[in-house]
Structure 1
Amino acid sequence: MSTHLHTLYDGPIIDAHQHFWDLGANHYPWLAPDTLVPHRYGDYSRIKHDYLPADYLRDAAGHDVIGSVYVEAEWTPDDPLGETAYVSQLAATTGRPNAMVAQAWLDHDNIQSLLAGQARFALVRSVRHKPGDPDASGRTLMSNTRWRDGYSQLARHGLHFDLQAPWRQLAEAARLAGDFPDTLLIVNHAGVPGDRSSATLAGWSSALEALANCPNVVVKVSGLGQAGKPWSVEANEPVLHTLNRTFGADRLMFGSNFPVDELFGSLDMLIGGFKQLVSGWPPSEQRAFFHGTAARVYRPSGLTEPKTRNAS
């Protein structure tokens, strides 16, 4: 039985999942003024404002966030390289982000040239293409031959794949991971557990077990909000317990999902809440969760120096 005392993590943090957007300069269809698309958080109107590195650094000021990973923000899909160029310029001028998950629709005709183009950018480590709703047979794009052909090209370009899909699609994701063992599959938002009912958590936990058997799968613990409910440590305790039991801290990494999760409170509240959630883990596991796994997976560049702390 573990005898570790509960201690709040006080070391360096790499935020493995965040976004920036300048709504006046660039086009994100879902963030247009008169648009509301179906979203698992419900009405997201309050995040339709510019969010840039200066805003993020202000919001994170109470914590030692030394770097971050930008995740594609559903920029207009006719210009995916434009988003990458824009984000690369942000990084060059502000020091954030320090790695990037780029947009790449894997079933497009030009996918080979697009992946080559994305891989040429120094920041890009991974790509994302949400596989969408299942068809009548219960399958998503993850089972589509053309999409999988695109997926098969990732390894040769040295790219990972970031998967955002609800937990009911994780069995399909496990097959994908097994079929392409040379590609690291990064599960976004903890596999989107949804509500916290016992039935949902049991189904989600079972789905995670199959994924955990694939050594080329890691999980981002991000986006754990629930529509119409406040974010709380209590609601997420069973989620963190299951993730650590199933994957272990070396395959888990913290992500803020800011500014989207601003719908539930401040970044300070969110990071502080996660520090509470893992406070019973051994110090080495806390460091893996907040720093080590993301450093290994995303190889962020240009990190700021961690704050100097007294030895204890």
Structure 2
Amino acid sequence: MPDDFPIIDAHHHFWDLAHNPHPWLRDLPMIPFRYGDYSALRGRNFLPADYDALVGPHNIVATVTMEGEWDPADPLGESHWMQALAEATSRPAAHVAQAWVDRDDGGSVLAALERIPLVRGIRHKPRSAAAPHLVQRGAPGSMGDPRWRAGYARLAEHGLHFELQTPWWHLDEAVDLIAANPATPLVLNHAGLPADRSPAGLAGWRAAMRRLAEAPQASVKISGIGLPGRPWTVEDQRPVIEDCIEIFGWQRCLFASNFPVDGLCGSFETIFSGFRQVAAGLPLEQQRAMFHDNAVRIYRLTR
């Protein structure tokens, strides 16, 4: 892949901690986090100039921002701020907003988000269990909760898609959700969180991913696959990346940095060069789709 190959980073964050409310990055005590100690993220802004300083030789032609756990008491604040940032800097090209679909104000928030030009979809992390054997179908706040599902059903009328971050053992609930709402595309974040890399853990993850991939409305972001306490390496990540591509097909995979969060695991250069190394043996058309064209389609971009 040539160095001028166009790339759209399909998942990262911007925040201005001096002015904007992100409780997990400002308040104490710190929350439990899947990468462990995240103190390196606290107290530091991450804005377009900071992002652009990291990308090295990669030709990042556009980016998509993901909601960053803005204070839920202000459900529209982050999207309005991101719209203003995009108008001032040309980054990002699209935004995935925070919305709490099971809140009383869920419908009015979705209607307001529909009117913000930058917003393409929403993310609401559903309640999840700590391990597969602890899953309780229909638990309050989960994807099986009737109130949660009723809120999700409103997305199609507002032209918004859904971004799902949940451990792989909840993907059967996502399959049911898609079947009940076939007009709403779903993008699985962070490859379904395959944190357990034991043979049994990977077998369970693969089986769940295959069931989700049967739904043509589902796509997967290859991002956020770092391991706590380990540097990001191609050796660790190649099996997960290759399995995602084999299971979903190159037409439904997107590469993304998850920066600055994944800076806890590796540099931007390490991660994107790793993605490019793993994908290098595929036809150029397939590489371009996963690094660029699929994001154009899913996020309705113009480039």
TM range (shorter): over 0.9
Three-state SS of the structure 2 residue aligned to 1:204 is: helix
Structure 1 residue aligned with 2:225? 224
Q: How does 1:43-54 map to 2 (within 5 A)?
A: 43-48=37-42, 49-54=44-49
SS in 2 for 1:234: helix
**Structure 2, gaps ≥5 residues long:** none
Runs of 5+ consecutive residues of structure 1 not aligned to the other structure: 1-6, 304-312
Q: Please say if 1:35 is aligned against 2:29.
A: yes
Distance 1:300 1:102 in 2: 16
Any conservation in 2 of the 1:16–1:69 contact (CA below 8 Å)?
A: yes
* TM-score, normalised by the number of residues in structure 1: 0.92
Q: 1:137, 1:167 → 2: CA distance?
A: 14
Alpha carbons of structure 1 residues 74 and 198: separation in structure 2 relative to 1, 3 Å: same
Q: Does 1:137 align with 2:132?
A: no
Please list the CA deviations of residues 32-64 of structure 1 after superposition, one character each: whole Å capped at 9, or x if unmatched. 153310111011111111100000011114210
Alpha-carbon separation, structure 2, partners of 1:241 and 1:265: 19
User: How has the CA–CA distance of structure 1 residues 23 and 187 changed in structure 2, closer, same or farther, with 3 Å as cutoff?
Assistant: same
Distance 1:260 1:136 in 2: 27
Distance 2:300 2:53 in 1: 24
1:62-88 CA-to-partner distances (Å, cap 9, x unmatched) read 210000101000000011211111000
Any conservation in 2 of the 1:16–1:256 contact (CA below 8 Å)?
yes
Partner secondary structure for residue 59 of structure 1: coil
Higher relative contact order (CA 8 A, sep 6+): 1
Query: Given the two structures, how large is their TM-score scaled by the length of structure 2?
Result: 0.94
Deviation at 1:136, TM superposition (A): 6.6
CA RMSD of aligned residues (A): 1.4
Whether the aligned pair in 2 keeps the contact of 1:9 and 1:279 (CA below 8 Å) is no
Sequence identity percentage: 48
Cα distance in 1 between the residues matched to 2:290 and 2:239: 16
Shift of 1:10: 4.8
Extract structure 1 runs of 4+ deviating beyond 6 A: none
Following the alignment from structure 1 to structure 2, what is the Cα–Cα distance between the partners of residues 298 and 92?
17
Query: 2-side partners of 1:218 and 1:204: how far apart?
Result: 15
Q: How many residues align?
A: 296
Aligned to 1:95: 90
Tell me which amino acid in the other structure corresponds to 1:209: R
Check whether the contact 1:8–1:275 (CA below 8 A) recurs between aligned residues: no
